[in-house]
Structure 1
Amino acid sequence: MTLASKFILAVTVLGSALLGGAASRQYKPTKTFAEQELVPQKAGGLPNCFPAIGFKMPLHIPHSVVNWWCDYDTEYAFMGFSYEVTACQSLEQLRQEFLDIRHTFKGRYVRLYGACDRNGFYDDIVDAAWRANLGVHALIWFGWDDPDIWKTRRDVLLAALHANPKAKFVTRVLQFGSEPLFDWALPPLDLAEQVKLAQENLTSLRIPVTISEMAWGYQFSEPRGSMKIMDQIDFIDAHMLPFFSTEASTADKSWPIVENDINWFVNNGRGKKIYLSQNGWPSTTYPGVEPNSPSAVADVSNEHDYYTLLDEKCSYFKTVGGRGIGWFAHIYSDNQEPGYGIYGKDGSLKFPFAPKIRC
């Protein structure tokens, strides 16, 4: 294993509060996915599948998700944005920004980051995603301030997925994260069991389950059983933050670092679909977001160069691993996480951003 794969990431403490009455909701498994159920069936080709650009939401909620989702193999190149929800955005703001992601950037997904413990918040996510024709990578956020808050968040989110009739039509996957292996959120075998229980709970909704983790998280936890998690998850939400590599310099020279970790996921990922879910390059440094290489450069130009580099690799992302890889931009706005946003704090684009969604 090379030093290039050893990302040392910043830890940001996010405040959270228990939802009133949430702990009383039951977490009841049903049955396990059959393997053939985990691969979406062909949906007649683009754009007649969700969430392809050009797809039109039906006037009425469908009866089944069969033939609803686009095939994994069509999901490569730019997918959408990580979107932090710690601010507990209003429904109006969610609707506005999800529509912006769809129409301005041709995003197909939002990948949630952080946590909002406001009652009914995931219903607002579903509402905004349905209106904008966006899929969602949902997240059970562990956090650091309360060792048990993730259990409440798990139960509340699972209940919402079952109770909201639109939820299964916009929720592509349920993630445990972020970086639960690197952060020692749970012992690896316990985390694998939580993935299994969530899969059993969501079988009737046909919602896959994964964790959101970097290669190094799996690698350094391997002696404690991290590959049991790789065996259990339905597909891979991988983190790619090459700025933190000990070999980082400028973004335009970061491809060997990126490719090294992609190769690890391809070689160890059991043939599963891969997305780069938390993926970016910061435009500034501050305490907690600091490089591990004296040559690493954080500025707006390098943030732009990183996404240009990925965009130029569209043909690679279309075929790598046999199923292609889709990548997200982390993150939507500097108001969500300073330095990482495509939008600055003033609401203006920091640089031109129009990555390819197919090639």
Structure 2
Amino acid sequence: MPASVPSKVNGWWCDPKTEYAFIGFGYEITPCQSQDQLTQEFTDIRKRFNGRYVRLYGTCDSDGYYNTVIEAAWSAGIGVHALIWFGFNGDNAWEGRRDALFSVLHSNPKAPYVVRTIQFGSEPLYDHAIDPYALQSQVQSAQAQFKSVGITVTVSDMAYGFKTAGDGGVAVLQTVDNVHGHMLPFFSPDATTGDNAWPIIDPDIQWLQTTAGDKKIYLSENGWPSTSYEGVQATSGAAVADVSSEAAYFNLLDSKCEYFKSFPHGIAWFAHLYSDNQEPGYGILDSSGNEKFPFKPKTSC
């Protein structure tokens, strides 16, 4: 990062087409990590794994917490895909989180140089947390506020979530600036092991690309668990949740680098999540901070 905040955002971000293959980690902020911890772990993502971004997951509702995230990301030299968390309670708490985030984005001068994307929800359509046309309106309102500073706006959901919302889901996909598609093939009725997941993954990619109109695609909440427990249970009796299957899943994605590069704006993927301390089984790191398997994914090819 420069010694001082630039005067304009024009030319700051890389062309999205050059950002394909591995892009960074999902990172859960529900523990409300300190700025020191965020800086340390964001720097680890940047330096050890060559991550360009963190895709935030969960929420910390402490006052002004996104200022803490932005300061840590600035120090680490990493970008942020911010998230407005809807949660699972069916309430309107997301509106306060939206307002708190937007307040920080408007007031913190570093925000446009750290926050690349605003994501509405993590599967808000699949969870029926909001009417799809109301969600479309929220996206449009945010776009009007942040287009001038280069912050894009999207909705983070599964292809299945967009599909089940019918015409409203299609309208949302056609409105967002880019596509944040969840890819969790472990839960498919056809799941077996991570290395055999491509027939589950590719049809969703193709549908998202066609329906959204050739927009940039990020595989945002994207992973394969190394353990199964209540809430992380397979539909298929053949689905294997262990470290070797998790490793095989990410090796599979790594082998598709040229394919991801071939799309009009490239396809980039996050690893969900950084650590098992954030959600058991999904971390690349175990609860002691050690890599569960060698993880050196391609960022270009």
TM-score range, shorter chain: over 0.9
User: Given the alignment of the two structures, is residue 75 of structure 1 paired with residue 53 of structure 2, yes or no?
Assistant: no
* C-alpha distance in structure 1 between counterparts of 2:40 and 2:116, whole Å: 21
Equivalence for 1:170 = 114
Q: Which residue of 1 aligns with 2:229?
A: 286
For the residues of structure 1 that align with 2:281 and 2:120, how far apart are their CA atoms? 25
Partners in 2 of 1:302 and 1:267 — Cα distance?
A: 30
Structural mapping, 1:137-286, within 5 Å: 137-145=81-89, 147-223=91-167, 225-286=168-229
Rounded to whole Å, the distance in 1 between the matches of 2:244 and 2:41 is 24
Matched residues in 2 for 1:297 and 1:146: separation?
Answer: 32
Whole-angstrom distance in 2 between the partners of 1:124 and 1:173: 17
Q: Contact conserved, 1:245 with 1:292, CA < 8 A, in 2?
A: yes
Whichever residue aligns with residue 280 of structure 1, its letter is: G
Matching of residues 313-352 of structure 1 within 5 Å? 313-320=256-263, 322-352=264-294
Matched with 1:355 is 297
Q: Secondary structure in 2 aligned to 1:105?
A: coil
Q: Which letter does structure 2 place at the counterpart of 1:271?
A: D
> 1:204, CA displacement in angstroms?
3.1
Tell me the amino acid that sits aligned with residue 215 of structure 1: A
SS in 2 for 1:326: strand
Q: Which moved more, 1:156-165 or 1:143-152?
A: 143-152
**Aligned equivalents of 1:141 and 1:80: distance in 2?**
20
Quick check: 1:118 aligned with 2:62?
yes
CA root-mean-square deviation: 0.9
Q: Which amino acid aligns with 2:183?
A: M
The answer as to whether partners of 2:90 and 2:129 remain within 8 angstroms in 1 is no
| Alignment of 1:312 onto 2:255 | yes
Deviation at 1:146, TM superposition (A): 5.8
Shift >4 Å, 4+ stretches: none
1:58 aligns with 2:2: yes
1-structure distance, mates of 2:175, 2:197: 31
Letter in 1 for 2:107: A
The offset of 1:206, in angstroms, is: 2.3
Q: Residues of 2 paired with 1:153 and 1:79: CA distance?
A: 25
Contact between 1:252 and 1:305, CA under 8 Å: does it hold in 2?
A: yes
Give 1:354's aligned amino acid. Answer: K
Q: Which runs of 5+ in 2 are unaligned?
A: none
Structure 2 counterpart of 1:194, one-letter code: Q
Identity %: 55
* Aligned-pair CA distance for 1:144: 2.2
| Residue number in structure 2 paired with 1:9 | none
Question: Residues 61-88 of structure 1, C-alpha deviation per residue, up to 9 Å, x if partnerless?
Answer: 1111101100011010000000000000
Per-residue Cα deviation, 1:129-155 (whole angstroms, up to 9, x for no partner): 111111100000011236111010000
For residues 101-158 of structure 1, give each alpha carbon's deviation from its aligned partner in whole angstroms, at most 9, with x where no partner exists.
Answer: 0000000000000000111211111111111111100000011236111010000100
Report the Cα distance in structure 2 between the residues aligned to 1:326 and 1:340, rounded to whole angstroms: 18
Deviation at 1:203, TM superposition (A): 2.9
Provide TM-score, normalisation by structure 1: 0.83
TM-score by length of 2: 0.98
The 8 Å contact of residues 162 and 205 in structure 1, kept in 2 or not, is answered as no
- How many Å separate the matches in 2 of 1:113 and 1:215? 18
* C-alpha distance in 2 between matches for 1:203 and 1:294: 46
CA distance in 1, matches of 2:235, 2:41: 33
Structure 1 contact 277–328 (Cα < 8 Å) conserved: yes
Whole-angstrom distance in 1 between the partners of 2:3 and 2:286:
36
Matched residues, number: 301
1-side partners of 2:256 and 2:209: how far apart?
A: 16
